Amino acid sequence: MKTILKQMHQNRYFLLFILLFAYVQSIHTRIGIRRTLDWYIFTPEAAVVTLISACILFFVIDFFIKNWQKSSTFSAAEILKIFSFSLLTYLLVMKIIGFLIAVIFGKVEKNFNQEVVILSTFSDLIGGFIYGSFFLAYRYYKKNTEYQKQLALYDHALSESKINQLKTQLNPHFLFNNLNILDQLIEEDKHKASDFLNEFAEIYRYVLEVSDKKTVFVEEELAFAEKYFNLIQYKYGNAYSLKINHIRSSGKIIPLSLQLLLENAVQHNLGTAVNPVLITVEIDKEIRVSNTRIPKRNSKKTSGRALSNLKEQYTLLTDRQVEIIKSETEFSVVIPIIPA
């Protein structure tokens, strides 16, 4: 009983629609028969009886669907089979109920003569077809809605998993590159290496903090990128310079995006104190990171995994994509700002 009441509560708006439809239908039928307006036309007992009959039909259809539908998807032949047997079963049940009521009130001869049986059967058949169609449409609408929710949850979980995988690829990459710089500094200048290590520890703390975040505020990432560029200068001095044009910064970006692009500029270009590589970060409705191109000679061909990972993460989080622009003198990457 509790299960039935729970189902009625869950589907209360659909049942209310059925009751209102039956009520309007009863008014229309009575007006057509009586050709006059009086209080009886607006009494609701016929609508209540129709609602009870419809609930019996819904139970029958639901029974056949649960027992006969083989998969979550269904064919037209399967629907026709279920609906046909449901209607026949419903007609049989209604006749049994009608007969029992007629026996109780002693009206079997009046209610079960040939003419009345034919008319009542035809009426039940039409009603069953109408309300059965309502139920099937409602049931499969609910099922489709639940399926869409499950699909959305699955896509979200898949995106989360993919993003985490990409991050696990980038973070060791960041650590490995900077440990290489530290190793070189230890051989050249131990005091300088100590300062580098202190700053690196502070920066890597930020890397760990954002490792489980999908996005961070632009301001945070910009501050981190400036600190990271200080690390670059420990190794290369003034061979690389950073210029930031900060017009606006409302919104978020993927963590370590700017660091990755700064590192990319250093990795692929050879700057000197006389001819430095200029890296420009312009922040407006989007973020553009550009650098002058001074390609390294005989440099090893890289896999481009870092940029590919960045593009994949943005693909999973937003419709706006990372744009890469390359010319003879300049290399630019445009990354979208995600609304906060």
Three-state secondary structure of the chain: CHHHHHHHHHCHHHHHHHHHHHHHHHHHHHHHHHCCCCHHHHCCHHHHHHHHHHHHHHHHHHHHHHHHCCCCCCCHHHHHHHHHHHHHHHHHHHHHHHHHHHHHHCCHHHHCCHHHHHHHHHHHHHHHHHHHHHHHHHHHHHHHHHHHHHHHHHHHHHHHHHHHHHHHHHHHHHHHHHHHHHHHHHHHCHHHHHHHHHHHHHHHHHHHHHCCCCCEEHHHHHHHHHHHHHHHHHHHHHHEEEEEEECCCCCEECCCHHHHHHHHHHHHECCCCCCCEEEEEEECCEEEEEEECCECCCCCCCCCHHHHHHHHHHHHHCCCCCEEEECCCEEEEEEECECC
* Same domain (yes/no): 221, 320: yes
Q: Can you tell me the mean pLDDT for 220-239?
A: 88
* Same domain (yes/no): 179, 280: yes
* Same domain (yes/no): 186, 286: yes
Q: List the single range of 130-134, 154-158, 166-170 with lowest mean pLDDT.
A: 166-170
* Same domain (yes/no): 205, 319: yes
Would you say residue 126 lies in a domain? no
The boundaries of the domain holding residue 332 are 153-336
Residue 43 pLDDT > 70, yes or no? Answer: yes
Q: Can you tell me the mean pLDDT for 210-229?
A: 87
Would you say residue 138 lies in a domain? no
Which of 58, 81, 112 is the C-terminal boundary of a domain? 112
Residue 332 pLDDT > 80, yes or no? Answer: yes
pLDDT at 146: 81
Residue 227 pLDDT > 80, yes or no? Answer: yes
Task: Tell me what percent of the residues of the chain surpass a pLDDT of 90.
Answer: 28
Q: List the single range of 82-86, 99-103, 109-113, 151-155 with lowest mean pLDDT.
A: 151-155
* Same domain (yes/no): 172, 107: no
The tens digit of pLDDT for each residue in 9-34 reads 888 899 899 999 999 988 888 888 87
Q: Is the dihedral of CA 108, 114, 116, 120 positive or negative?
A: positive
Q: Residue 339: left if φ>0, alpha if ψ -120 to 50, beta else—which one?
A: beta
* Same domain (yes/no): 159, 224: yes
Which of 62, 94, 112 is the C-terminal boundary of a domain? 112
What CA–CA distance (Å, rounded) separates 206 from 228?
11
Number of domains in the chain: 2
Instruction: Give the model's confidence band at 281: pLDDT under 50 very low, under 70 low, under 90 confident, else very high.
Output: very high
Q: List the single range of 157-161, 192-196, 215-219, 271-275 with lowest mean pLDDT.
A: 157-161
Residue 270 pLDDT > 60, yes or no? Answer: yes
The amino acid present at 160, given as its one-letter code, is E
Q: Can you tell me the mean pLDDT for 277-294?
A: 94
The tens digit of pLDDT for each residue in 46-87 reads 899 999 999 999 999 988 888 887 666 667 788 888 889 999
Q: Residue 318's closest CA among 207, 163, 154?
A: 163
pTM for the model stands at 0.52
Please give the mean pLDDT across all residues of the chain.
Answer: 83
The tens digit of pLDDT for each residue in 117-152 reads 888 888 889 989 999 999 988 988 888 888 787 777
Which of 112, 132, 165 is the C-terminal boundary of a domain? 112
Query: β-strands 240-246, 277-283: how paired?
Result: parallel
* Same domain (yes/no): 174, 232: yes
pLDDT at 327: 92
**At 237, which CATH number?**
3.30.565
* Same domain (yes/no): 60, 186: no
Other C-beta atoms closer than 10 Å to the C-beta of 242 total: 19
pLDDT at 140: 84
* Same domain (yes/no): 70, 158: no
For tokens 């949850």, what's the residue? 153
